[in-house]
Amino acid sequence: MQINFIGKRNFTFTISGILFITALFFLFVFGLKPGMDFTGGSLLEVSFSNNRPEVTQVRELVQSMNFGTVVVQTTDNNGVIIKTKFLTEEEHQNLLSNLRTNFENEESKVLEQRFETIGSSVSSSLRNRSFTAIITVCIGIILFIAYAFRKVSRPVASWKYGAVAVVGLVHNIVITAGVFAILGKFAGVEVDTAFVVALLTVLGYSVNDTIVVFDRIRENLIKHSVDDFSSLVNKAINDTIARSINTTLTTLLALSALYFFGGVTIKNFSLALIIGIFLGAYSSIFVASPLLVVWHNWDEKRRNK
């Protein structure tokens, strides 16, 4: 049985449009909350041999030292991570001393696990390189797909496959970033270089899903006539949907295990991948392929005028 995905494109476009516009709204209103990688600052991780204090207690202590905005997170090894503005060595030692004075006793010792600092110039460079990396990947995808589909330039030009794939990628990236803008505003979730790595991974995974459908379209164009491009694309989606669902579900199961049972430091990374990869499977079926048909129909109407 063939499901008419293309015939339902107006409904799925509406859903995608609402999600995309909502995500853009939150990105402009709230913005992403940059982590230390992008703002610069210091990170101190300490562990407690017994009876780790409450996060609120640690936060109140650090805030009383006038270090500005403070982020305190728990770790799985009975410790906490404290992120602050850039600290001098004297301030670092003073913070460590205060932690030991307030929380150390005969039964529980405060042990320093690591102390890292990132300067503003380094964070600015990371920010610029992250943006450049994402733009470069998108351009590379258009060029690669245009080359791969160069032998099927009818009825749709080969470069349009790449352009449509990138539209799907932008859809996935913006919605994922929009979710993190909301989480940053209401849950204090920060984005760092791991988040950028997750977005780049989503780009690769999403375009892989889309290419599978496009490759089946290419095969059908070679084997069959192109009298009804819409039906041909719909057949390609139906031929590949089982593969898309199976690979996406197995990937999401692994990522869910990382999110729920992995360390604190990879939770946001895993969450970004879960959202992005789900959207990648969705967009390859409901956004990129139907958009290719819409573009083709629009070109046909323009030629017939």
Residue 303 to residue 174: CA distance in whole angstroms: 34
Query: Do the domains spanning 6-35+122-304 and 41-118 agree at the CATH topology level?
Result: no
pLDDT of residue 225: 65
- Phi and psi angles of residue 82, each rounded to the nearest 5 degrees, phi first: -115, 120
> What is the rounded average pLDDT of the residues 280-297?
90
| 3-class secondary-structure state, position 193 | helix
pLDDT of residue 66: 84
Residue 154 amino acid letter = R
Burial classification of residue 263, based on how many CB atoms lie within 10 Å of its CB (0-12 exposed, 13-18 middle, 19 or more buried): exposed
Secondary structure element (H or E) that encloses residue 72, with its range: strand 71-75
Closest C-alpha among 59, 52, 50, 101 to residue 75 = 52
Per CATH, the number for 6-35+122-304 is: 1.20.1640.10
- Kindly report the pTM of this predicted structure: 0.80
Closest C-alpha among 94, 156, 93, 112 to residue 298 = 156
Among 7-16, 33-42, 58-67, 267-276, the minimum mean pLDDT is found in: 33-42
pLDDT of residue 18: 96
Secondary structure element (H or E) that encloses residue 176, with its range: helix 158-187
pLDDT of residue 71: 81
pLDDT of residue 189: 86
Q: Is 168 left (phi over 0), alpha (psi -120 to 50) or beta?
A: alpha
Is residue 55 within 8 Å of residue 211, measured between CB atoms? Answer: no
Average pLDDT, the chain: 85
pLDDT of residue 152: 64
Residue 115 to residue 74: CA distance in whole angstroms: 16
Give the pLDDT confidence of 103-129 residue by residue, as tens digits: 888 778 888 989 988 765 555 676 778
Residue 300 to residue 281: CA distance in whole angstroms: 28
Closest C-alpha among 251, 291, 290, 293 to residue 273 = 251
**Domain boundary assignment for the chain:** 6-35+122-304, 41-118
Residue 118 to residue 85: CA distance in whole angstroms: 10
Fold of 41-118: Alpha-Beta Plaits (3.30.70)
| pLDDT at residue 264 is higher than 90 | no
Closest C-alpha among 211, 287, 272, 195 to residue 244 = 211
